[in-house]
């Protein structure tokens, strides 16, 4: 199976930044009456960057895109696929044919056509596009063929693909003028979604205006009761976001770190705690890296008390990690328990000795004249818990005889480190995907910079199991998909530490979160908030 040619930041992948389907947060007490019109303001933790859906990989980017774009199908509160731009579909092992609604229009007034949908898919699949979501959100080898007269579009893959229908829930569809001129999408939008972007100030805010004609949302959602305007404010500092929410300047925000306790205790703020993907770390397995040796990876993992690390990383608000895919998972099961090397510092030391890494004069292990050095990279936008977790890891590895260099960086730099510089040996990288197939390009195949395999993983058992699972219908292949995940943990290719939770808080408004992002059609302003 050919993997995508571009490398992307798996951290914060929009299609999947965790959450509980259908969970609502806001005033919630029943005292606030819905208000038509007005402005709803929500904090996002970083600037989304380029707004072309074909290039959107960070969760913050896809959160912004969700206001302006639709997908062919959606996901209901129970995890089932529901109509979106497509009103019905026919599924075969290697294809799915969608019949589109006839009333959907683009923000410039143009009618949405099957040809628009096909152009989106084929554009992403075109090697010249170098789309980072190809092979992740759009399956490798997928092609699209439109029949405008019949109102249908068929997506097909060279071989049977387990999640061919489910993958359509992740593809934002560009329409109208944006189809002809993709360059216009860098800082503007051209979609059929409930809002259109009217102002973008990089690093500060993104303002959207409602489209009252919108009646084709997932599950029958419309724009009838939506706020007139939505402003997404870039607020990188969580403490600042908490201050703004408490003061009523913001209507909604999410919190990972210690500020969530202060927000939760504030009168008039209603909150929900939602799962938000795993906290975990990867080892770089390039030929010139210490972790290329599986014995070293396992020893480094054994040197860490993962239970203590989990409590620190999630500031005591996490849950035991049980898998890599966000709820509601298409394949249920615990792939983590019993498959991660257990904490045993003595065994770790013995393994490093056996691998030829002997303690030097200053305590740092040396092999063939080379010091055992790890450059550990982590995102600074994940709260103080991740910072503390990085320091804890550094201390644990130092005790094992490792020289550790900690480097906290913002999301954009994190993506660059993965995509371009490859200047890391271990990295804290939250995963956010909704289908196991979306992980394949990152966890196998061509290594960076030629492919999306940023950690240079070569787990033959994982690859074999995925190959078997990919050709089976989703339900039939689940056992294999689960076994494939466990194979990664047994080989210490990546180490799941904790299932993160996030506090979704609202004041003066209500909203739902699905897959870790705000559902635009669920937003309501209220009185008395």
Q: What structural domains does the chain harbor? A: 1-45+235-529 (3.10.105.10)
Q: Is the pLDDT of residue 18 over 60?
A: no
Q: Which residues contact 254 (CB under 8 A, 6 or more apart)?
A: 43, 276, 502, 503, 504, 505, 513
**Residue 183: per-residue pLDDT:** 93
As a whole number of angstroms, the distance between CA 172 and CA 52 comes to: 10
Q: φ and ψ at 59, to 5 degrees?
A: -60, -35
Q: According to the 3-state scheme, what is the secondary structure of 259-327?
A: HHHHHHCCCCCEEEEEEEEEEEEEECCCCCCHHHCHHHHHHHHHCCCHHHHHHHHCCCCCECCCCCECC
| Residue 80: other Cβ atoms inside 10 A | 11
528 has pLDDT over 80: no
> CA nearest 325: which of 8, 18, 13?
18
pLDDT for position 527? 64
**Residue indicated by tokens 């600037």:** 47
State in Å, rounded, how far the first CA of the chain is from the last one: 52
User: Pick from 208, 185, 174: which is nearest to 52 by CA?
Assistant: 185
Which residue from 232, 277, 225 is spatially nearest to 250, judged by alpha carbons?
A: 232
Residue 136: pLDDT over 70: yes
Check pLDDT > 60 for residue 8.
no
Residue the block writes with tokens 């216009």: 184
CB 489 within 8 A of CB 190: no
DSSP 419-486: III---SEEE--B-BSSGGGGHHHHSSSBTTTSSBTT----HHHHHHHHHHHTS-HHHHHHHHHHHHH
pLDDT of residue 23 exceeding 60:
no
Residue 17: which pLDDT band, with cuts at 50, 70 and 90?
Answer: very low
Any bridge partners for residue 199, and if so which?
A: 207
Return the minimum-mean-pLDDT range out of 86-95, 300-309, 437-446.
437-446
Q: Are 457 and 444 in contact (CB under 8 A)?
A: yes
Query: What is the rounded distance in angstroms from the CA atom of residue 32 to the CA atom of residue 24?
Result: 14
| 396 sits in which H/E element | helix 384-399
Average pLDDT over every residue of 439-457: 89
- pTM value is 0.78
Which whole number is the average pLDDT over 81-108?
A: 96
Tens digits of per-residue pLDDT, 215-258? 999 988 999 999 999 999 999 999 999 999 999 999 999 998 78
| DSSP letter (8 states) at residue 418 | I
Mean pLDDT is lowest, of 1-15, 41-55, 271-285, 329-343, for: 1-15
Q: Say what the pLDDT of residue 487 is.
A: 98
- Tell me whether strands 370-371 and 517-518 are parallel, antiparallel or unpaired: unpaired
Q: Helices 294-302 and 345-354: crossing angle, nearest 10°?
A: 160
């Amino acid at each position: 199976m050919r993997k995508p040619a571009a490398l992307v930041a798996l951290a914060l992948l929009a299609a999947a930044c965790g959450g509980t389907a259908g969970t609502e947060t806001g005033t919630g007490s029943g005292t606030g009456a819905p208000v038509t019109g007005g402005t709803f303001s929500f904090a996002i933790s970083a600037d989304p960057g380029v707004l072309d859906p074909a290039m959107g990989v960070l969760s913050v980017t896809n959160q912004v895109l969700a206001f302006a774009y639709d997908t062919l199908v959606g996901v209901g509160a129970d995890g089932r696929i529901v109509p979106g731009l497509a009103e019905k579909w026919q599924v075969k092992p290697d294809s799915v044919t969608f019949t589109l609604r006839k009333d959907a229009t683009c923000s410039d007034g143009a009618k949405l056509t099957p040809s628009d949908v096909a152009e989106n898919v084929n554009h992403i699949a075109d090697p010249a596009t170098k789309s980072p979501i190809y092979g992740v959100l759009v399956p490798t080898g997928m092609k699209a063929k439109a029949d405008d007269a019949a109102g249908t579009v068929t997506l097909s893959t060279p071989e049977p693909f387990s999640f061919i229908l489910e993958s359509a829930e992740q593809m934002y569809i560009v329409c109208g003028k944006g189809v002809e001129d993709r360059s216009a999408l860098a800082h503007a939008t051209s979609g059929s979604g409930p809002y259109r972007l009217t102002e973008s100030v990089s690093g500060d805010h993104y303002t959207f205006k409602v489209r009252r004609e919108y009646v084709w949302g997932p599950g029958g959602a419309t724009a009838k009761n939506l706020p007139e305007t939505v402003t997404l404010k870039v607020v990188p500092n969580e403490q600042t976001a908490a201050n703004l929410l408490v003061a009523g300047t913001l209507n909604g925000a999410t919190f990972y770190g210690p500020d969530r306790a202060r927000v939760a205790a504030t009168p008039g703020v209603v909150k929900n705690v939602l799962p938000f993907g795993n906290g975990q770390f990867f080892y770089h397995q390039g030929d010139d890296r210490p972790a290329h040796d599986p014995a070293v990876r396992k020893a480094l993992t054994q040197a860490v008390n993962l239970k203590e690390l989990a409590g620190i990383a999630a500031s005591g608000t996490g849950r035991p990690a049980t898998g890599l895919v966000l709820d509601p998972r298409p394949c249920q099961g615990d792939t983590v328990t019993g498959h991660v090397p257990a904490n045993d510092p003595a065994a770790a030391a013995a393994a490093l000795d056996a691998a030829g890494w002997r303690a030097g004069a200053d305590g740092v292990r040396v092999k063939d004249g080379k010091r055992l050095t790890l450059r550990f990279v982590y995102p600074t936008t994940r709260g103080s818990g991740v910072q503390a977790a990085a320091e804890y890891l550094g201390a644990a590895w130092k005790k094992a005889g490792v020289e550790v260099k900690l480097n906290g960086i913002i999301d954009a730099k994190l993506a660059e480190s993965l995509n371009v510089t490859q200047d890391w040996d271990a990295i804290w990288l939250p995963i956010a995907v909704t289908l196991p197939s979306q992980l394949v390009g990152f966890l196998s195949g061509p290594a960076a910079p030629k492919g999306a395999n940023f950690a240079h993983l070569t787990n033959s058992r994982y690859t074999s199991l995925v190959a078997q699972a990919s050709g089976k219908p989703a339900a039939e292949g689940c056992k294999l998909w689960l076994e494939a995940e466990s194979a990664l943990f047994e080989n210490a290719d990546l180490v799941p530490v904790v299932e993160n939770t996030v506090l979704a808080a609202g004041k003066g408004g209500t909203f739902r979160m699905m897959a870790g992002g705000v559902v635009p059609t669920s937003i309501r302003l209220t009185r008395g908030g």
